[in-house]
Amino acid sequence: MHRFALHNETICQASEAVLMPGQVGLLSGWGVFSTICVKEGVLFAWERHWARMQRDATLMHVPFPTDPEFVHSLLLRLVDANAAWTSTLRVAIVRNLGGMWQGHGITRNYDLIAFTADNKEWGSNVRLGVVPQARHSACVFAGTKILAWATNLVWVEEAHNKGYDEVVLLNERDEVSECTSANIFIAEGNKAWTPPLHSGCLPGVTRDVLLSEVHVSGIEIGERDLRLEDLARADEVFITSTTRGLLPVKEIEGIQVHQKGEVRKALAQAFTSYVSAYVSGKKRPAPVTTP
């Protein structure tokens, strides 16, 4: 994490004690968040991140800011304060009021918290474990990105202990849903498929861009129910996320995954071009580096 953080409308030291246990969302995970790629000082796909957070906040009864442009300006102040013009940004909206553990003297309905960090080096591919019964697709909260993230962290930690990088999460029907912090795709010939939202997966921003904005001649991309056997016999398997882009999968629970196509590479190039065009269209004036 970088030196400065954003707390509501104030840029403060990230080590500064500005939060209280009586903010009910802090100790119960009652809030929503998103992770955003910062490129050349631009928050990539900000509109999509905002829309998803707003939808999840409504579902989770989390009070939410009403002015996306104002919040956007606050996040840019944080980016400039940390000189984090190429970085990863995490923004969270935490519910403050409600329940028996609400603290005294808290008047704000929510807190806005954000911080930045250097981009992580993910390597050239990933090895995936498998976790059954990890997503309940029929749950009304399936696919929400909420602060209660501990189960995902445990699964990743256990995966690392077994020599894997991430895990494939299966739903109650043994269908592939997603990874803990990435969506998953397969390629068959000139077609790429990803699990539909009714699998219980989160509607990732990179996933959404690939489905709705990226077009490569001769390649079809869409949604389809997938099982582990589909991953095992696919020409390619890859995961997508804000921080990873399109990263090939090398192995799934001891099974070597085929890497005999060019679909992922072509889609990755098209996605990179889309990101560059987005950033070029959002160019900012020279940043101010004081908080």
Residue pLDDT, tens place only, 173-231: 999 999 999 999 999 999 999 999 999 999 999 999 999 999 999 999 999 999 999 99
Both structure tokens of 282: 């959002």
Question: For residue 101, what pLDDT band results from cuts at 50, 70 and 90?
Answer: confident
Task: Give the residue with greater pLDDT, 287 vs 126.
Answer: 126
Res 261: pLDDT: 87
Res 287: pLDDT: 58
Residue 124 has pLDDT above 90, yes or no: yes
Residues of the chain with CATH 3.30.470.10: 4-117
May I ask the CATH architecture of the domain 126-277?
Answer: Alpha-Beta Barrel (3.20)
Question: What's the chain's average pLDDT?
Answer: 95
Element (H, E) at 245: strand 245-252
The residues near 49 (Cβ < 8 Å, ≥ 6 apart) are 34, 36, 43, 91, 205
Rounded average pLDDT over 60-85: 97
CA separation for the pair 34, 210 (Å, rounded): 18
Q: 228-267 burial string, b = 16+ CB within 10 Å, else e?
A: bebbeebbbbbbbbbbbbbbbbbbbbeeebbbebebbebb
Task: Give the residue with greater pLDDT, 95 vs 283.
Answer: 95
114 contacts 78 by C-beta, under 8 angstroms: yes
Both structure tokens of 239: 């995961």
pTM of the model: 0.94
Nearest to 185 by CA among 211, 149, 164: 211
End-to-end distance of the chain based on CA atoms, in angstroms? 16
Residue 289 has pLDDT above 70, yes or no: no
Res 290: pLDDT: 53
CA separation for the pair 42, 216 (Å, rounded): 25
113 contacts 94 by C-beta, under 8 angstroms: yes
Residue 245 has pLDDT above 90, yes or no: yes
Residues of the chain with CATH 3.20.10.10: 126-277
Q: Could you tell me which CATH class the domain 4-117 is placed in?
A: alpha beta
Judged by DSSP in three states, 182 sits in coil
Q: How many percent of the chain have pLDDT more than 90?
A: 90
Nearest to 168 by CA among 188, 185, 147: 185
Rounded average pLDDT over 93-97: 97
Residue 250 has pLDDT above 80, yes or no: yes
Question: For residue 128, what pLDDT band results from cuts at 50, 70 and 90?
Answer: very high
Residue 237 has pLDDT above 90, yes or no: yes
Residue 275 has pLDDT above 60, yes or no: yes
Nearest to 224 by CA among 188, 259, 248: 188
